[in-house]
Chains A and B, each alone.
Chain A
Amino acid sequence: MPGKLKVKIVAGRHLPVMDRASDLTDAFVEVKFGNTTFKTDVYLKSLNPQWNSEWFKFEVDDEDLQDEPLQITVLDHDTYSANDAIGKVYIDIDPLLYSEAATVISGWFPIYDTIHGIRGEINVVVKVDLFNDLNRFRQSSCGVKFFCTTSIPKCYRAVIIHGFVEELVVNEDPEYQWIDRIRTPRASNEARQRLISLMSGELQRKIGLKVLEMRGNAVVGYLQCFDLEGESGLVVRAIGTACTLDKLSSPAAFLPACNSPSKEMKEIPFNEDPNPNTHSSGPSTPLKNQTYSFSPSKSYSRQSSSSDTDLSLTPKTGMGSGSAGKEGGPFKALLRQQTQSALEQREFPFFTLTAFPPGFLVHVGGVVSARSVKLLDRIHNPDEPETRDAWWAEIRQEIKSHAKALGCHAVVGYSESTSICEEVCILSASGTAAVLNPRFLQDGTVEGCLEQRLEENLPVGCGFCHIPYDELNMPFPAHLTYCCNCRKQKVPDVLFTTIDLPTDAAVIGKGCLIQARLCRLKKKAQAEANATAISNLLPFMEYEVHTQLMNKLKLKGMNALFGLRIQITVGENMLMGLASATGVYLAALPTPGGIQIAGKTPNDGSYEQHISHMQKKINDTIAKNKELYEINPPEVSEEIIGSPIPEPRQRSRLLRSQSESSDEVTELDLSHGKKDAFVLEIDDTDAMEDVHSLLTDVPPPSGFYSCNTEIMPGINNWTSEIQMFTSVRVIRLSSLNLTNQALNKNFNDLCENLLKSLYFKLRSMIPCCLCHVNFTVSLPEDELIQVTVTAVAITFDKNQALQTTKTHVEKSLQRASTDNEELLQFPLELCSDSLPSHPFPPAKEHLESASSNSGIPAAQRATSVDYSSFADRCSSWIELIKLKAQTIRRGSIKTTVTVEKASPMGEGNFRNRSAPPCASSTVGVVKMTPLSFIPGAKITKYLGIINMFFIRETTSLREEGGVSGFLHAFIAEVFAMVRAHVAALGGNAVVSYIMKQCVFMENPNKNQAQCLINVSGDAVVFVRESELEVVSTQQPTANCQPSCPGGEVTT
């Protein structure tokens, strides 16, 4: 009996009136876990019952503890008729199953009913006593920690990053079972909620088992999704990155990884059989041996081949019957090939992380993506979800080969998604091909693509931009130049990635959100014809999305995209493409050429005039954007930059690292990717409105910035005010004469208006930045387009930036001049580390310093200096350059020194910060953010994953304020329930929050609507820096973490 679950029902409040006669309620509670149910006494005639129940004890397997939710039902006792249900609370007890997380769940939970919404609250206390179970063949994976955060969580360090884990489970959707015809909507909704809760639990347990098998102890970047396949069933799938994490125990250890420079990475011999225990019991100063090792897929031996049923990825030869028939043949061939090298192929070198420990990421190749159109069919045997597994295996294989074609052995920032319409499903996967630090890899695992061209000192801030592929044998024609930063390596002219901006990247100016939006009409068709039509459209969609992205990027005067996410949504009669990314100007990459318009009929005078007018407009926009985003790259002698009119030869080129995939047989071969590149020329585009639409994107109002990455390049002085929000819009298209153009315009307007509304709503927060802007498009019905946006607005202080940096620099300089040599090293290192992400001194200076090292005469450098701001800073930055050069020459620096010396800077930094007032309220404030951090605060504890699924239905839509009123209330309720769960776990924030699904269906004629929402995130405890300061004035190391301007943004 491995566990005892104890539940106590304390009280209720604000219950609804269930007895009209007395205006009161006779409430009691049923507590159910697995098949055991307990009941409280009936508390007569009260809307605020005090049950104060005994402890209800459930003795259960830990397998059940992981799978089952605790189900609490509040009912109204009725002597004569059936008891009426008031509502339910589902509590996921998973956070209680690992030692470092929550120890008790205790608090007020909203009582939720799928028809009425929240109806009062109930106070519950839950505890778990776990007994140690040493059974080797256990099916549970208690103790494996899950994180939604796509970076190494703040108070942990990664001992080993094992790699990709995935799992999926399938079931019949209760909504489509025969019994649904006779049961009430409430019963049906509850069956669904419960089933999904069970399936998530099971999925998490199975993933946990895989992690244990890999000898890991945590999953980072855990992403779980539902595919509502309708008739054919319900799929719950998850991907993540298995890691061995070590809790940083001493306050010093909270120092972000970014403060320990990559050079510090000690080369540890790769451990064939890494034992997490020996790592965790390391020395008390964990930073000393801050080592990140990467265990490549092959290296760990498969321990328990007996439990192989769970390793669904193992290709099985007898599969393939389920998918669309025509791709069966070649796919089988592929499978055969796979099975030959089963061991080698089984694992994928994928990482769901988007931010990495320093030194982990060596080169970035570019975006790799694969899509596949499938026909859904009923899942006959839920225990053997082979078809779905095979589909994903196929896609992952393709991604892997794309990455290989780019000379990369790994894929980072990896994610998967689906779009389903009736029986057609588009599976998509994308990531960024990358080369990870070979020193963390065993020799030979790197597939021969890596020469030892990595010097001891990687140039700061540009290394990842250098091309990983062979220059003479490029996978696609790209325009290579020498890196503008180090001048030693080749870089592409444009870089697209799905990851966050690396912490040490040298960026000029600020970034901005760039979106490509596209619609394509499609004939209504059935089954295979439909799938074929979609497959045929996909390549064109991808092409155009890329063209748009490229043009918009150039229009912004930028040369790289981060956090790229391309979503293709399928509807009855159209396909929608929406790509979002954050554009930045990487100092290492060449200045982008402009956009040139060439007419097709050069003889027509008026046409020429029109063209030149457009050209001028475009050039003006580019110039304006450069000013807006503060992009002033230094002029480099050998290149002509700054002239707004581009040279004719400077054509916009797309680093094409993506290949379309569909069912087509031939497409599979393309995956080796040497042919599928193209050169884009603007004069190819035949429609003028494409150019027009480029110019219609309005920049955000002044004081606003937006990005879809974790942080905004060029802003680091966040203040503590954050506002997370979800906004949903649905528009109805007039069904008459729909053309692609009209559709595009509608969609474009929808997105632009939505953004405008957000800017307007949040105007009181100016200056602020919308971070992690996440757009989701769905096509719920024929003429409906739904766009859901979740993002967080964070305020920042415009004036503080300069000050902080100044004190920061002055402080370190002061120290440098007075302290002895050993001490000297540290602050410099810190400066150089945090420099790239500072607005001041801008990356330009950083660049200067880099170029000074590469021997460009000082006089030449000086030409690019902005004299207005030069005077007050020059002394410090010149000093800085000198000292930095010294540091670089000196080579490695001890990390332990770093820890100790971080303090003066941290403190200096604090003094400039105004302490935010600590609000107190009867209901504790719970912050929510899609980011992995909370500005101005330090996360001290991760309490567990929040993964909740809700259904809300109404049969009185008009009375609830129509569709808007209905959904508004529901989303507010979902937020409330998330907050309540976090508060009950003892937390005060949710980080890495994401609304993964928001499926809304309406039937206004019947006055009905239904909505499904799935959200997840990490419950955490955070402490305000201002509070920390009081505690830790004598313990300076404690405050380094998010307070370092560089560290905050980067980790």
Chain B
Amino acid sequence: MTSELDIFVGNTTLIDEDVYRLWLDGYSVSDAVSLRVRSGILEQTGATAAVLQSDTMDHYRTFHMLERLLHAPPKLLHQLIFQIPPSRQALLIERYYAFDEAFVREVLGKKLSKGTKKDLDDISTKTGITLKSCRRQFDNFKRVFKVVEEMRGSLVDNIQQHFLLSDRLARDYAAIVFFASNRFETGKKKLQYLSFGDFAFCAELMIQNWTLGAVDSQVDDMDVDLDKEFLQDLKELKMLVADKDLLDLHKSLVCTALRGKLGVFSEMEANFKNLSRGLVNVAAKLTHNKDVRDLFVDLVEKFVEPCRSDHWPLNDVRLFLNQYSASVHSLDGFRHQALWDRYMGTLRGCLLRLYHD
């Protein structure tokens, strides 16, 4: 006796969250069944393995049919074939577009192209995430990227509108799209200690302050492309380190303000010029695409690592950066205050986020 056909169709489509997770994680039906068996479900429900097999197959078939709709979530809302309560629809979409931290760290900042897709095998081996799941996540990134890349308006809003994601997930996707289009390097060994959250935080700040959208909300690609003019202007900041008087004045202002407040005052004092040079040079280099990509590498090399080697506590870093940015306003010879604020305001936020073990 073999089962030729075995289906269950409910007027309301049954969604089993556990099975959905297994499906999203890319497990085959047989793997999913054995995983479910291991979860002790048979003991809880008194079901047999055959029942579990049939149930899993059924759910997989449903998910397979739903997948086409999940590629364009608004379709899921308007379609008539599957009657799914709104809360369940939201869950299906949210989970489908959720991604693994390990996976996103591998592809963040990479070009979402066929070439990268070929590397998914290696990523799968490296991260232990099934190839199927890697493909889904990669395709999700790419799909979202394709849809919103040339769109007018806020990146987060666009993503939310076209993919019906939660605010949180939409922000994450905005970061992914932003990183992918600017190709920021995130894979270097030095950067391995950083989480996706760190990068997403920085991306959000940069989108808010450094993109075209920050000055003009009526242009295409406004949240994806960095404001080229702004990057060009950043060269002007160079005088902060090139002009020796200015640099000394800046240092004394900072040191005066922080004396007695910093645990690592002497280290700071000794390193001030190096740190300041580092930060300003990063700004000055951003005119070249290549250097834009290396932004995070540079920040870690030029600022995070030196501070960390001197064991600066985070609070001291915060005090220093605040004072460092603020003191520039007292430099009479320096005219680019607004530019400095646009640059340093974002950078300060990023650096504080990046500064951890």
Q: Which residues of A are in contact with B by a Cβ distance under 8 Å?
A: 13-14, 108, 110, 118, 121, 701, 723-734, 746, 749-750, 753, 756-761, 763, 784, 786, 919-923, 925-928, 961, 963-965, 967-969, 971-973, 975-976, 979-980, 1000
The 10 closest A-B pairs by CB, nearest first: A730-B5, A725-B10, A730-B4, A724-B11, A971-B9, A928-B11, A968-B7, A727-B8, A976-B80, A963-B5
| Cβ contact of A108, chosen from B1, B5, B6, B80, cutoff 8 A | B80
Sample of 20 more A-B contacts, CB < 8 Å, known A730-B3, A923-B78, A968-B65: A14-B78, A118-B81, A725-B8, A726-B9, A729-B5, A730-B5, A731-B2, A733-B1, A753-B48, A753-B54, A757-B54, A757-B55, A923-B80, A961-B61, A964-B6, A964-B61, A967-B7, A968-B9, A975-B11, A979-B83
CA distance A132 to B317 in the complex (A): 90
Q: Which residue of B lies closest to A971 (CB)?
A: B9
- Interchain CB contact (< 8 A) of A731 among B3, B10, B45, B78: B3
Tell me how many residues of B have a C-beta within 8 Å of chain A.
41
A–B pairs, 20, beta carbons within 8 Å: A110-B81, A723-B11, A728-B7, A729-B5, A730-B4, A731-B3, A732-B2, A753-B54, A759-B47, A760-B55, A761-B8, A784-B4, A967-B5, A968-B58, A968-B62, A969-B65, A975-B11, A975-B83, A976-B82, A979-B11
User: Within the complex, which residue of B7, B62, B64, B77 is in contact with A727, where a contact is CB–CB below 8 Å?
Assistant: B7
Nearest Cβ distance between residue B262 and chain A, in whole angstroms? 56
Choose among A731, A961, A979 the residue that contacts B64 (Cβ–Cβ < 8 A): A961
- Cβ of B260 within 8 Å of any chain A Cβ, yes or no, is no
Given A757-B55, A919-B86, A921-B86; A972-B65 close (CB under 8 Å): yes
Query: Could you say which of B1, B14, B58, B75 contacts A749, with CB atoms under 8 Å apart?
Result: B1
Chain A min CB distance to B208 (Å): 32
Known: A724-B11, A972-B82, A980-B80. A753 touches B50 (CB 8 A): yes
B115 interface hit (Cβ, 8 Å): no
Is the C-beta of B85 less than 8 angstroms from some C-beta in chain A?
A: yes
Asked if B148 is an interface residue, CB under 8 A from chain A, the answer is no
Q: How many A-B contacts at CB < 8 Å in the complex? A: 138
B170 adjacent to chain A (CB < 8 Å): no
Contact in complex: B46, A761 (CB < 8 Å): no
Check B1–A922 contact: CB distance below 8 A. Answer: no
Given contacts A760-B45, A760-B51, A968-B9, contact A963 B4 (CB under 8 A): yes
A377 CA / B129 CA spacing, docked (Å): 63
Q: Is the CB of A756 within 8 A of B9?
A: no
- CB of B322 to closest CB in A, whole Å: 49
- In the assembled complex, which residues on chain A have CB atoms less than 8 Å from the CB atom of B50? 753
| Chain B residues within an 8 Å CB radius of A926 | 83
Minimal Cβ-Cβ distance residue in B for A977:
B80
A761 touches B55 (CB 8 A): yes
Residues of B within 8 A of A965 (CB): 61, 64-65
A979 with B80: CB separation less than 8 A: yes
Q: How many angstroms between the C-alpha atoms of A969 and B79 in the bound complex? A: 14
How far, in whole Å, are A922 and B84 apart by their CA atoms in the complex? Answer: 11
Return the chain B residue nearest A965 by Cβ: B61
CA distance A983 to B178 in the complex (A): 43
Residues of chain A within 8 A of B8, CB atoms compared: 725-727, 757-758, 761
A927 in contact with B11 (CB, 8 Å): yes
A975 engages B9 (CB within 8 Å): yes
> Which chain A residue has the least Cβ–Cβ distance from B14?
A761
Specify the chain B residue showing the minimal Cβ separation from A766.
B45
**Complex-state Cα separation, A258 to B344, whole angstroms:** 79
**CA of A763 to CA of B16 in the docked complex: distance in angstroms?**
11
Q: Which residues of chain A come closer than 8 Å to B86, judged between CB atoms?
A: 919-921
Question: B1 CB to closest chain A CB, in angstroms?
Answer: 5
Query: Most chain-A Cβ atoms within 10 A of its Cβ — which of B3, B13, B50, B85?
Result: B3
List B contacts of A701 (CB < 8 A): 45-46
CA distance A1000 to B54 in the complex (A): 20
- CB closest residue in chain A, given B74: A922
Answer whether residue B192 sits at the interface, using C-beta atoms and an 8 A cutoff.
Answer: no
Q: Is the CB of A921 within 8 A of B85?
A: yes
- Does B113 sit within 8 A of A, measured CB to CB? no
CA distance in complex: A728, B2 (Å)? 14
- B85 and chain A: residue at smallest CB distance: A919
Q: Tell me whether B57 is interfacial, beta carbon within 8 Å.
A: yes
Min Cβ gap B70→A in Å is 15
Contact residues in A for B79 (Cβ distance below 8 Å) = 14, 923
Query: Across the interface, which residues of B come within 8 angstroms of A730, CB to CB?
Result: 3-6
Partner of B83, one of A757, A925, A967, A971: A925
B11 touches A964 (CB 8 A): no
Name the residue of chain B whose CB is nearest to the CB of A109: B80
A967 CA / B5 CA spacing, docked (Å): 9
Q: Determine the distance from Cα of A137 to Cα of B52 in the docked complex, in whole angstroms.
A: 62
Please tell me if the beta carbons of A13 and B61 are within 8 angstroms of each other in the complex. Answer: no
Chain B, residue nearest A734 (CB): B1
Instruction: Tell me, rounded to whole Å, the shortest Cβ–Cβ distance linking B5 to chain A.
Output: 4
A723 / chain B contacts, CB cutoff of 8 Å = 10-12, 14
A976 to B54 Cα, complex, angstroms = 24
Q: Which of B34-68 contact A (CB under 8 A)?
A: 45-48, 50-52, 54-55, 57-58, 61-62, 64-65
**Chain A residues closer than 8 Å to B11, beta-carbon distance:** 723-725, 927-928, 975, 979
Q: How far is the CB of A795 from chain B (nearest CB, A)?
A: 13
For the complex formed, measure the closest distance between the CB of B162 and the CB atoms of chain A, giving whole angstroms: 15
A734 vs B2: C-alpha distance when bound (angstroms): 8
**B49 vs chain A, min Cβ distance (A):** 11
* Residues of the B chain whose Cβ atoms lie less than 8 Å from the Cβ of A972: 9, 13, 65, 81-82
Nearest CB of B to A680, in Å: 30
User: Within the assembled complex, what's the spacing in Å between the Cα atoms of A922 and B90?
Assistant: 13
User: How far apart are the CA atoms of A453 and B105 in the complex, in Å?
Assistant: 87
Within 8 A of A (CB), among B67-107: 75, 77-83, 85-87, 89
Which of A118, A730, A925, A975 counts the most chain B CB atoms within 10 A? A975
Contacts of B75 in A (CB 8 A): 14
Chain A residues lying within 8 Å of B85, measured Cβ to Cβ, are 919, 921, 925
User: When the two chains form the complex, which single residue of B14, B52, B57 contacts A964, counting CB atoms closer than 8 Å?
Assistant: B57
A971 and B80 within 8 A (CB): no
Check if A756 sits within 8 Å of B77, measured CB to CB: no
Smallest beta-carbon distance B242→chain A, Å: 55
**CA gap between A757 and B54 in the complex, in Å:** 8
Chain A residue with Cβ nearest B78: A922
Contacting A753 at CB < 8 Å: which of B51, B78, B83?
B51
In the assembly, what is the distance between CA of A729 and CA of B10, in Å? 15
The complex places the Cα of A726 from the Cα of B7 at a distance, in Å, of 8
Q: Report how far A229 CA is from B10 CA in the complex, Å.
A: 31
Q: Are B4 and A731 closer than 8 Å at their CB atoms?
A: yes
The minimal Cβ–Cβ distance linking B288 to chain A, given in whole angstroms, is 39
Chain A contacts for B83, CB-based, 8 A: 923, 925-926, 975-976, 979
CA distance A727 to B57 in the complex (A): 13
Tell me the chain B residues, 229-275 only, with Cβ under 8 Å from chain A. none
Question: In the complex, A746→B2 CA distance in Å?
Answer: 10
Set of chain B residues within 8 Å of A964, measured between Cβ atoms: 5-7, 57, 61
Collect the chain B residues with CB atoms within 8 Å of residue A732's CB: 1-2, 4
A927 to B89, CA, bound (A): 17
Using CB atoms, name the residue of chain A closest to B86.
Answer: A921
Residues in B with CB closer than 8 Å to A726 are 8-9
Chain B residues in 8 Å Cβ range of A729? 3, 5-7
* Chain A min CB distance to B326 (Å): 51
- In the assembled complex, the Cα of A734 lies from the Cα of B1 at a distance in Å of 6
B46 / chain A contacts, CB cutoff of 8 Å? 701
B12: chain A residues within 8 A (beta carbon): 723
Inter-subunit contact A13/B55 (CB<8 Å): no
Whether the Cβ atoms of B1 and A731 lie closer than 8 Å is yes
Residues of B within 8 A of A961 (CB): 61, 64
Taken together as a complex, chains A and B put the C-alpha atoms of A678 and B14 apart, in Å, by 48
Residues of chain A within 8 A (CB-CB) of B89 are 921
Contact across chains for A727 and B5 when beta carbons are under 8 A apart? no
| A969 CB contacts on chain B under 8 angstroms | 65
CB distance from A926 to the nearest CB of B (A): 7
**Other-chain residue from B10, B77, B80, B87 in contact with A724 (beta carbon distance below 8 A):** B10
